Amino acid sequence: MSIVTRARRAGTARALMLGVLLALGLLHPASPVQSAPAPGGLLTYATNREPDMLDVNVGSSRYDRWVTANIYDQLLTMDRSGKLQPWLAESWQISTDGRVYTFKLRRGVEFHDGTPFNAAAVKINFDRITAPETKSTSAIGLLGEYDKSEVVDPFTLRVTFKRPHPGFLTNLADVTLGIQSPAAMAKFGADYVRNPVGTGPFMFKEWVRRDRIVLVRNPKYNWGPPWAKHTGPAYLEQVTFRIIPEDGSRVATLESGQIDGIGRVPPQNAAVLRVDKRWTVVNSVLPGTGVILVVNGRRPPTDDIAMRRALEHLMNVDDAARLAYFSQWFPHRGSILSSPNPMFANTAKMYPPSAQKAEQLLDEAGWRKGPDGIRTKGGVRASLVYIGFPSFETTRTMEWMGANLRAIGIELTIREMETGAIHRARQRGEHNLAHLTFIFLDPGFLRTLFHSENSGGGWNFYHAKDAQIDQLLEQGETEPDPAKRKKLYEEAQKRILDQGFVIPVVYQHQISAFKSTIGDVAMYPVLGEYPYFYDTYVRR
Amino acid sequence: MTRDAPGQDRPATGKATRSPRRAMLQRMARHRGLAIGGALLVILAATAVLAPLVAPHDPLAIDPASIMARPGPRHLLGTDTLGRDLFSRVVYGGRISLLLGLISVAVSLFFGVLLGVLAGYFGGKVDEVIMRFVDVLLAFPGLLLALLAVFALGIGLRNAMIAVGISGIPLFARVTRGEVLSAKQNLYIEAARAIGAPEPVLIWRHLLPNIITPNIVLATLRVGTAIIFGASLSFLGLGAQAPAPEWGLMLSQGRGFLAVAWWMSFAPGLAIFLVVMASNLFGDGLRDVLDPRLGT
Amino acid sequence: MTAFVIRRLALLIPILLGVSFLVFGALYAVPGDAIDSMLADAGASAAEVARLRREFGLDRPFLTQYWTFLSRAARGDFGRSIRLRIPVIEAIGAQLPATLELTVASLVVATTVGLSFGVIAAVRHGTWVDTGTMMLSLVGVSMPIFWSGLLLIFLFSLKLGWLPAAGTGGVRALLLPAFTLGISAAAIIARVTRSSLLEVLGQEYVRTARAKGLAERLVVLRHAMRNALISVVTIVGLQFGALLGGAVVVETVFGRQGIGIMAADAIRTQDFPMVQGTVMIASLAFVVVNLLVDLSYIWIDPRIHYA
């Protein structure tokens, strides 16, 4: 019996009981009370890893963004339909050559320390990001070929780039480009990483290492994002982020009622929690590549396109989602972009899953089965090496794939290692298959991942040189016309899949679960990885 | 220090007609712990070696239709998240643990004895240098040295075996050195008596038996620790790789499913426990019989 | 005797130097470095990665980096964690209490349970109490910590709901992990206590004390324990090291914060300063405890002299 079936049976039993009680009139048959949100209340939310730092200029790892999303505001924001909207920047103009952006900023916005938000503050942020002493790891990549910012007047800022940066507006909606208080950065210096000051709905109060981070309501907040459900300060008085690294313990802590919400719910637990009325499960699909396998086109046997195409036919994404992710992470229907990305192309029909077709392709290409059942061709053994970071889901995926591969005469060796070593190994092309997952909004980033110039020293792990892919990615990065840009990226997605350089598996999800007494729990739109507590309230 | 095994009477004292070796073997057979531990070890080792005959299923065969099945007639210890039979996996995992125990102890023995002999025999500066190096190794508490070593060598089962072996070197080095030193003491007395006898030959003839016995006992006792260390490394994700049915790795994979499939965590842990207990029983017994001086 | 103490303390420096060199070398030997780990999901270009590497001084030769580290460490500056950018000393200071309370609690469990079982077994030598205790101890020694920990979580947390499955703060969260770690150490302590007590109980002067008519319990506790204490203290000292080393596993199983798990994470992400700091602290603590154990012999048995 699967977990989901077991959970559903439990849920059905409970439902039956409720029905009986209702019939006996022991329960008031009123509809569930929709209380209007009222200010007040505390919320505790547990994640799996502690943030590294809370200074987005310097670093913005996934674990940092849980907290920084609620402390900082951005110049632009993306609503739930993926459309860019003004936020701290009320309007903007782009020069015809795409290199100069002029922003009119919102007035009346204050940092948590009382200092005013203005063009000078934004300029200081951008300059700091690009300054070498800052050693920025994430934000600097979002600023493209930044040249300079000029304060035209206190609330008008002109930003100039050395080359056109059509992705700039989308990147401005990223939490990583949240605006920090210059006064605080000057005051705290290197220790600003632990003393964040932004303009957001919550202010930083304290950080007890390895235990919790506490935020309190910003009483002066009056400039929420346009897609928010209310205006004025947040409802919650206080938000506490706790860190519980072990998945099972985190879920157990939620189920015991000790906390109000948790993030990074493993798929097997999500399946059980969602049928239980006590919990609200929020399952967001994240933009970016999704969970995909990159195939090394330079290392045998995957240097043979027939082998790569056979692998494509062997991958059944529905089975993968069901077995490795308990159906909680959805099958990937694209190639290198996932469905929330505005330029996503559905390429599912290109390789209908079929083990027979895979075998046929291999036979036709001359891969003959040897006496031990493993195919060979011209002295090369059909032996694949997988390199990845240890994670339960990806391991299960590869173990399942390994069994399927063995059945058609290909052997698979799984090598899992820690991040530093993986990176070098993938750069050197020691793999035939490697997992890749990146979260981003603007497809301009695809150049970093799939252009041949980035093979060897960068993040391109399929290592083959395909002129068509390169050209499409180059053009797409700087094409100012949105319609043309979309077409270019569609073709890029199709081409890379056609050549068999990526095998998509599932989309990347982030699943959170909350007590049902917490109202309006929503993930940060589109980027969806972390909850945004501005509209959240405690039901009375 | 421990002269008695639990509940064991002292063997009857000397009938002069029996040779010392036969007497020792008799003591071994009569020692309950030794016998039980030894028998258990033999059974476990045999199961591991004869795995293809003992295991009902292929340990790597995936069965999507019966994922996380409870222990039952078809699957004696249940199945895991991919439907693989846990009993078969545990049996095949025995092979890995057997190898792990043997190889890591071999590494510890070889380098430990070598260092100990060099330090004890040459004395002086050589002794100082070697013993300081051993002290540095000893300064790492418990698992930490093995952790660092396996990371430096590269994650994987083979390197985990070597890493565990490295962490065991100080133990054998110290004991060997002690034995060599005390053998040297006796030797000077003897040499004073037997004038003209070549020293190296004397040392060799006296050294070897004195070194072998305590090291054998230690090695047997160390197997249990080595298996636990190795499984710990796999548990932490630094040892055996998927889909290998290594016991520590299986425990780590089962951890997230404790609430819905507790048998995934029960079976491999039980296996480790049995093997370690058997080797402890056997090792203790061996020590009682061969060299009660060793203590704990 | 003072000479002995001074000599042992003086040995601390070269030992710690050796530890730091070994650690540095081990990390350096691994392909990749802290930058690769940090940028794992940032997707920085090759040029940016090179720039960062330069700025952190990670592109300089091994010995230069080691020397920089040593000269700073001598001044008490262990630098900042590459990943977290906060001073290593501070990060360790925040983690230390959790590990300390776990170690101390485990030691308390280990000594109380171990000593009492060992004494009982020795006093009731030859009876089923003795056999039973020794079998329990064998079981305790043979149980892998990660297994016993999981079983305890399953029973007391998931099934009975009495204790939390994870967490670092508070007594309730400490009970299961301290018990898990403590029991395995208790088993060893029990055996050593029993054997050294047995040895002592057979000696002449104890028989004399008995003949004087003192209560049996007094005889055992006063005279015998004193002499058996040496072995017991030795084993407690050794167990401290095992507890420190076992901390990493227990902290993983029980989702606790602490030095063990911080050291493991630092090793994984090749955060050189952090690894140096944590491993040094752990080794220092271990070596100091060993020294204290050796020194305590003098207090236990004044007849012992150190050359």
- Give the single-character DSSP code of A534: S
Summarised one tens digit per residue, pLDDT across range C180-201 is 888 888 888 888 888 777 777 7
Question: Which residue in C29, C147, C240 is closest to B152 by CB distance?
Answer: C29
CB-based burial label for A16 (10 Å; 0-12, 13-18, 19+): exposed
Region A236-241: what's the mean pLDDT?
A: 95
* Alpha-carbon gap, residue A421 to C33, rounded angstroms: 8
**Contact between A383 and A373 (Cβ < 8 Å):** no
Question: Which residue in A322, A415, A418 is closest to B241 by CB distance?
Answer: A415
Check pLDDT > 50 for residue A29: no
Check pLDDT > 50 for residue C226: yes
CA angle C110, C112, C114 (to 5 degrees): 60
The count of CB pairs under 8 A between chains B and C is 161
- Of all residues in chain B, the one with the smallest CA distance to C253 is B255
The count of other CB atoms within 10 Å of the CB of residue A136 is 27
Summarised one tens digit per residue, pLDDT across range B52-70 is 999 999 999 999 888 899 9
| Better pLDDT: A395 or A29 | A395
Class for domain C91-300, per CATH? mainly alpha
Using a pLDDT cut of 70, give the percent of chain C over it: 82
At what angle are helices B199-235 and B247-254 packed, to 10 degrees?
Answer: 20
Check pLDDT > 80 for residue B225: yes
| Better pLDDT: B10 or A451 | A451
Summarised one tens digit per residue, pLDDT across range B67-85 is 899 999 989 999 999 999 9
Question: Which residue in B135, B147, B269 is closest to C150 by CB distance?
Answer: B269
- Residues in C closer than 8 angstroms to B269, CB to CB, are 144, 146-147, 150-151
Q: What is the ipTM of this complex?
A: 0.80
Q: B-contacting residues of A 313-342, CB under 8 Å?
A: 319, 322-323
| For chain C, domain boundaries | 2-73, 91-300
Most confident of A339-353, A511-525, C277-291: A339-353
* Alpha-carbon gap, residue C166 to C144, rounded angstroms: 19
**Contact between A441 and A173 (Cβ < 8 Å):** yes
- Of all residues in chain A, the one with the smallest CA distance to C165 is A249
- Ordered DSSP codes for A97-120: TS-EEEEEEPSS-B-TTSPBP-HH
- Residue C307, pLDDT score: 41
Which residues are A85's β-sheet partners? A77
Contact A414 B237 (CB under 8 A): no
Q: Is the peptide bond before A32 cis (omega within 30 degrees of 0)?
A: no
Question: Which residue in B143, B148, B224 is closest to C249 by CB distance?
Answer: B143
- Give the single-character DSSP code of B9: P
Amino acid sitting at position A198: G
From the list B118, B109, B124, B110, the residue with the least C-alpha distance to B180 is B118
Summarised one tens digit per residue, pLDDT across range B138-148 is 888 778 888 88
- Residue C97, pLDDT score: 85
Chains in contact with A, where contact means 3 or more Cβ–Cβ distances below 8 Å, are B, C
Question: What is the residue whose two structure tokens read 């000790």?
Answer: A258
Using a pLDDT cut of 70, give the percent of chain A over it: 93
* Alpha-carbon gap, residue B34 to B32, rounded angstroms: 5
Region C284-305: what's the mean pLDDT?
A: 72
Q: How many CA atoms lie within 13 A of B69 on its CB side?
A: 21
Contact B273 C144 (CB under 8 A): yes
- Give the single-character DSSP code of A298: T
Most confident of A246-250, A411-415, C148-152: A411-415
Contact C165 A422 (CB under 8 A): no
Check pLDDT > 60 for residue A75: yes
**Interchain CB contact of B236 with C (< 8 Å):** yes
Question: Which residue in B139, B144, B224 is closest to C142 by CB distance?
Answer: B224
In 3-state terms, what secondary structure has residue A101? strand
Check pLDDT > 70 for residue B220: yes
A383-388 and A411-416 strand pairing:
parallel
| Domain boundaries B30-53+88-294, corresponding CATH code | 1.10.3720.10
- Residue C45, pLDDT score: 63
- Residues in B closer than 8 angstroms to C241, CB to CB, are 141-142
CB-based burial label for A482 (10 Å; 0-12, 13-18, 19+): exposed
Region A409-428: what's the mean pLDDT?
A: 85
**Interchain CB contact of C183 with B (< 8 Å):** no
Q: A-contacting residues of C 191-250, CB under 8 Å?
A: none
- Residue A31, pLDDT score: 40
Using a pLDDT cut of 90, give the percent of chain A over it: 64
